[in-house]
Amino acid sequence: MLTSSSVKAAAAGLALATALLVAPSAGWAAKESFAYAPPERAPKGQRSRFVNEAPDAVLQTIWTSLEEQGFRIESVDPQQRLVVARYSGDPRPFLDCGVVTLLVDGRPAEPPRTYGANKAEVRTGKWPKGRRYGLLRTLRLDARLVARVEPRGKGAKIYSDAIYVATKSIHRLRKGGKPDELVNRETISFTSAGSGRFAKGTICVGNGRLESVVFEPFRKSDAAP
């Protein structure tokens, strides 16, 4: 796992790796490949906030709020004042995996096509052994959010931390764009304070929004300066 400080350093290194992703421009058909730039943000780590309310009431509010926001509640422990919630689905709201630029015959496509590497679904192709294979790349996020409440004087301190598991799958696409064989699957994991790296070099970090959902029911004015 990479640390927060190494993400930016990796950015420079992976710019070089971009050249390796560029396919040779031989053959009659225009060949697609990708240039990749890793995320510029560093992981934000565990988040915390003071709230001027009783700890038990804060725990109850967090529980209700997470349910209302569509998270699946995995467990609630009133003794430890702990709420564990799960998210499964589109990674875009919570993950930053850098940016991908489509190249055609080794040059940026016209008009330029740049998109986040955190896209849930991308259809493209590759040319191993001189033949084009249509491919479907999917990215799924499973995240586990832990909110913990501690008494602090007359109020409460909330700690929010998450575990991210990102799964990249590559399916072959048949005629008509129908997904067929699963040809590759890779899973990475990291916490709020870290980042994950797929074998191909794609780096993902949490963008901090997942940890922040815990604080949403509490107004800023409730928090200590």
Partner 1 sequence: MRPALKAALERLRALLLAAAAGSAPPLPGHAQAPAGTETGASAAEQKVWAEARKKRTVAGYERYLELFPTGQYAEEAFRLLVEHSLKGRPVKALVDVDPPARPGAKGRRHTIETAALSLY
By CB under 8 A, name the binding residues for partner 1.
21, 34, 36, 46, 56, 59-60, 74-80, 82, 84, 100, 117, 122, 124, 126, 128-129, 131, 133, 135, 137, 142, 144, 146, 148, 150, 159, 161, 163, 165, 167-168, 170, 172, 181-185, 187, 189-191, 198-202
CA geometry: angle 197, 198, 200, nearest 5 deg = 120
Return the number of the residue (55 or 221) whose C-beta is nearest partner 1: 55
Q: Of 113 and 172, which CB lies nearer to partner 1 in the complex structure?
A: 172
CB of 215 to partner 1, least distance (A): 14
Alpha-carbon gap, residue 77 to 61, rounded angstroms: 14
Over the range 151-165, which residues count as b (16 or more CB within 10 Å of their CB) and which as e? eeeebbbbbbbbebe
Instruction: Decide: 91 and 97 in contact? Cβ < 8 Å.
Output: yes
The residue (of 36 and 218) whose beta carbon lies closer to partner 1 is 36
For the CB of residue 76, give the shortest distance to partner 1 in the complex, in Å. 4
Q: Which lies closer to partner 1 via its Cβ, residue 26 or residue 221?
A: 26
Task: Supply φ then ψ for residue 220, to 5 degrees.
Answer: -60, -35
Instruction: Write down the least CB distance from residue 109 to partner 1, Å.
Output: 15
d(CA 19, CA 31): 15
Shorter beta-carbon distance to partner 1: residue 3 or 221? 3
Cα separation, 189 vs 143, whole angstroms: 9
Residues pairing with 189 in the sheet: 165
DSSP, collapsed to helix, strand or coil, labels residue 39 as coil
Instruction: Please tell me whether residue 190 adopts helix, strand or coil conformation.
Output: strand
Name the pairing type of β-strands 47-51 and 155-174.
Answer: antiparallel
Q: Please state the closest distance from residue 55 (CB atom) to partner 1, in A.
A: 10
Question: Residue 165 and residue 117: Cα distance in Å, rounded?
Answer: 15
Nearest approach, Cβ of residue 200 and partner 1 (Å): 5
Both tokens assigned to 2: 């990479």
Q: Which is nearer to partner 1, 96 or 161 (CB)?
A: 161
Q: Least distance from C-beta 152 to partner 1, angstroms?
A: 12
